[in-house]
């Protein structure tokens, strides 16, 4: 009976802690979103005092879109490669556990596979850097914005 009571109390504490963590994450994400919107809004207002306001604001919006797209591209690539590498390592460890004599071949194959998986994230990084720095319109946009 005492064990059941202790189990219920610990489960209630865990549920309460989980709710608290979820609330903290929601507050943090909302704060981050509102801060970004505020900063983007201030940047747009700062450019509103010039004569070429419409052109600069449009250029800044394009640049914001490029930065956001590059960030999401890298995030998606990192998540995908992280999951794939975890699955690959799990498979290699299970294979070594089943057949310890083949651990050398399994390790070599796993390292080659991990290198191939990691190259996908590097390709995403290169594409993001091209979007940010080698995009044909990035020069005129930076000139308009004043960077």
> What is the full per-residue pLDDT of the chain (147 aa) written as tens digits?
555 555 555 666 666 777 777 777 777 777 877 777 777 766 666 665 555 666 667 777 777 888 888 889 999 999 999 999 999 999 999 999 999 999 899 999 999 999 999 999 999 999 988 888 877 666 666 676 666
What does the angle CA 31 – CA 35 – CA 41 come to, to the nearest 5 degrees?
A: 145
Q: Kindly report the pTM of this predicted structure.
A: 0.57
CB count within 10 Å of CB 107 equals 13
């Amino acid at each position: 009976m005492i064990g059941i009571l202790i189990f219920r109390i610990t489960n209630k504490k865990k549920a309460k802690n989980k709710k608290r963590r979820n609330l903290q994450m929601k507050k943090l994400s909302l704060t981050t979103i509102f801060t970004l919107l505020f900063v983007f809004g201030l940047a747009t207002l700062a450019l509103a005092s010039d004569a070429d306001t419409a052109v600069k604001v449009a250029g800044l919006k394009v640049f914001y879109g490029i930065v956001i797209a590059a960030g999401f591209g890298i995030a998606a690539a990192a998540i995908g490669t992280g999951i794939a590498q975890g699955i690959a390592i799990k498979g290699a460890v299970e294979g070594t556990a089943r057949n310890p004599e083949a651990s050398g071949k399994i390790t070599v194959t796993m390292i080659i596979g991990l290198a191939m998986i990691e190259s996908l994230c590097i390709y995403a990084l290169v594409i993001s850097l091209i979007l940010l720095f080698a995009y044909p319109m990035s020069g005129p946009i930076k000139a308009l914005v004043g960077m």
